[in-house]
Amino acid sequence: MKFYANFKMKHTRASTSKYIEDINKELEDVDCANIYIFPPATALQESSKKVVVGAQNGYFENSGAYTGEIGIEQLDEFNIKTILIGHSERREILGESQEFIAKKFNFYKEKNFDIIYCIGEPLEVREQGEDALFEYLFAQFEGIDTSYSNITIAYEPIWAIGTGISATTKDIELVHNKLKSKFSADILYGGSVKVDSIESIKEIESVDGVLVGSASLDAKEFAKLIKKGLIA
Ligand code: PGA
């Protein structure tokens, strides 16, 4: 299992440093090489013993006149080589189009980044049935090279993000099995993953890891989730 913590617009530079210190301590005796955190841009730092630090966002240029954005020059300072692309909050709130997202993807692919590529559907689409669901999800792969060797796909139904309502095993299997039948990439599930739900999620064969928001914000809680997720 792989574990990814998306801090979103939470935590500061100071609290992220403390978080990394705490998680390294909590997981000192745990054998797990696949723990990633995505702090806000102001809190980016070098990866540490147990934790790989990635970026929540990046523009498709090395540097330049792009107010509010960061690019390779800023990421290189911290040796960052992992990035989230296509998160639903950036699609829905920041208005990123599929075309724009594909440009980012291709740019970071050229730079050989590990890309966590997120897809997910809103509730009204899910309620329309399977055909509508897969049509919506597969449109989010337009312009994306799913055979890229460093892509990890994250399926995050929008109705499960930050709502406390995690998708059921059946909901997750429906999408993950379909994705597995088409792509060889690892596939993460995200959406209200908690310490209490990790045990059932990890049992799903087509789930290779989890992308966690709220339940990752406290280092001790996230460490607990990781430990539970690792028990065979
Ligand atoms: P959540 O967020 O765990 O708070 O639902 C997940 C995500 O948006 O990546």
Sequence ranges of the domains in the chain:
2-230
Q: How confident is the model at residue 211 (pLDDT cuts 50, 70, 90)?
A: very high
The ligand 1 atom at the shortest distance from the C-alpha of residue 214 is 4
Q: How confident is the model at residue 231 (pLDDT cuts 50, 70, 90)?
A: confident
> Rounded to the nearest whole angstrom, what is the distance from the C-alpha of residue 122 to the centroid of ligand 1?
14
> Rounded to the nearest whole angstrom, what is the distance from the C-alpha of residue 107 to the centroid of ligand 1?
25
Structure tokens at 40: 């806000």
Spatial CA neighbour of 17 closest among 54, 48, 58, 50: 48
Strand partners for 115: 83, 151
Which pTM does this prediction carry?
A: 0.97
pLDDT tens-digit readout, 55-78: 999 999 999 999 999 999 999 999
| Separation CA 160–CA 214 (nearest Å) | 12
Q: Which residue has the tokens 């109705």?
A: 159
**Mutate-to-test residue for ligand 1 from 85, 156, 166, highest number of ligand atoms within 8 A of CB:** 156
Spatial CA neighbour of 181 closest among 139, 153, 209, 159: 153
pLDDT at 232: 65
> Rounded to the nearest whole angstrom, what is the distance from the C-alpha of residue 228 to the centroid of ligand 1?
18
Lining ligand 1 with CB less than 6 A are: 6, 156, 161-162, 190-193, 211-215
Which CATH number does 2-230 carry? 3.20.20.70
